[in-house]
Structure 1
Amino acid sequence: MGTWGVGPFDNDHAADFAGDLDEAPPEQRTELIARALHAVLAPGNNTISRVADPAVAAAALVAAQLPGGSPADPVYGPDEPLPPMPVELIPLAIRVLDRVTAADSEVKQLWDEVPEPGWHDEIARLRAVLVNDISVE
């Protein structure tokens, strides 16, 4: 598995997820995003990189459609347009980000070994966009 940066799509698992979204029929893209989010919250060890990285990318795609959200990565993110995200994915995305930053999260533990805090900052930024949208409603 390759990781080349701290952004939500800066790793092989998330880039592959973006490719899967591009290959999926438009009407199935929202379901793929929801499935990636749910995978982290299912029982078991679901904070390993191959599960957590696509879920973080999915959360970034939900946040991208909200005020203050950044567009998906133009190089490694999906190329095909995504439908509007259902509002019920917002609290789900927040729960995913909370799960991947929990003390027992394997992906968090890997990032804790890196002296540069960029990944933690990026997760916090995504979470702030998502939480801000909920508090506005």
Structure 2
Amino acid sequence: MGTWDTGHFDSDSAADFSGAIDDKPEAEREAVIRDALTVAIEADYLDSDEGAPAVAAAALVASQCPGGEPVTTPYGPDNPLPVLATDLRPLAVKALDAVLGENSELRELWEDGGDKEWALGIARLREVLVAAAG
């Protein structure tokens, strides 16, 4: 896993995900986000290369929620996102739950590394999404 910090976009997989969004026309960008969330939710075992894009996708959804932080990292998408459908909010919560779950390589790697900042960032992200999902 090429990871350089604890931010939601601070890995090769998340940065590649941002590039995949930028490669799509604006009307298709939401589908890329939805797909990343769905992959995480449906995985029996969530590989870190699938978990990191799910976290990044959740951060993009949360950025459009009340209390959400804008994505300002240079590793996020360069092109603007459309207004995302509100049904992505509960999907993003489920995806984060999968990332934090027992069958998540990403969670295992961060726990093994002993860094608590990553999990705190996920918890803050989840809190915004839960509040917005109703």
Q: TM-score, normalised by structure 2?
A: 0.95
Q: List runs of 5+ in structure 2 lacking aligned partners.
A: none
| CA root-mean-square deviation | 1.1
Asked whether 1:4 is paired with 2:15, we answer no
User: Hey, what does 2:90 align to over in structure 1?
Assistant: 91
Aligned counterparts of 1:6 and 1:74: Cα–Cα separation in 2: 12
1:49-69 C-alpha deviation (Å, 9 max, x unpaired)? 111110110000000011111
CA drift of 1:43 comes to 4.1
User: Hey, what does 2:120 align to over in structure 1?
Assistant: 121
1:78-125 C-alpha deviation (Å, 9 max, x unpaired)? 010000110100000000001110123211111101222011001000
CA drift of 1:70 comes to 1.0
User: Hey, what does 1:18 align to over in structure 2?
Assistant: 18
User: Hey, what does 2:104 align to over in structure 1?
Assistant: 105
Q: List runs of 5+ in structure 1 lacking aligned partners.
A: none
Q: Which amino acid aligns with 1:8?
A: H
Asked whether 1:131 is paired with 2:134, we answer no
Q: Which amino acid aligns with 2:20?
A: D
The runs of 4+ residues in structure 1 deviating greater than 2 Å are: none
**Sequence identity (%):** 46
> CA 1:43–1:108 in 2, change beyond 3 Å: closer, same or farther?
closer
Aligned counterparts of 2:98 and 2:31: Cα–Cα separation in 1: 20
Aligned counterparts of 1:20 and 1:83: Cα–Cα separation in 2: 15
State which drifts further: 5-14 or 64-73.
Answer: 64-73
CA drift of 1:133 comes to 1.2
Q: Please tell me whether the aligned partners of residues 8 and 60 of structure 1 are also in contact (alpha carbons under 8 angstroms).
A: yes
Aligned counterparts of 2:88 and 2:22: Cα–Cα separation in 1: 20
Q: Which amino acid aligns with 1:63?
A: A
Matched position secondary structure for 2:113: coil
Aligned positions, number? 134
Aligned counterparts of 1:37 and 1:55: Cα–Cα separation in 2: 5
Q: TM-score, normalised by structure 1?
A: 0.93
Q: Please tell me whether the aligned partners of residues 9 and 73 of structure 1 are also in contact (alpha carbons under 8 angstroms).
A: no
Matched position secondary structure for 1:82: coil
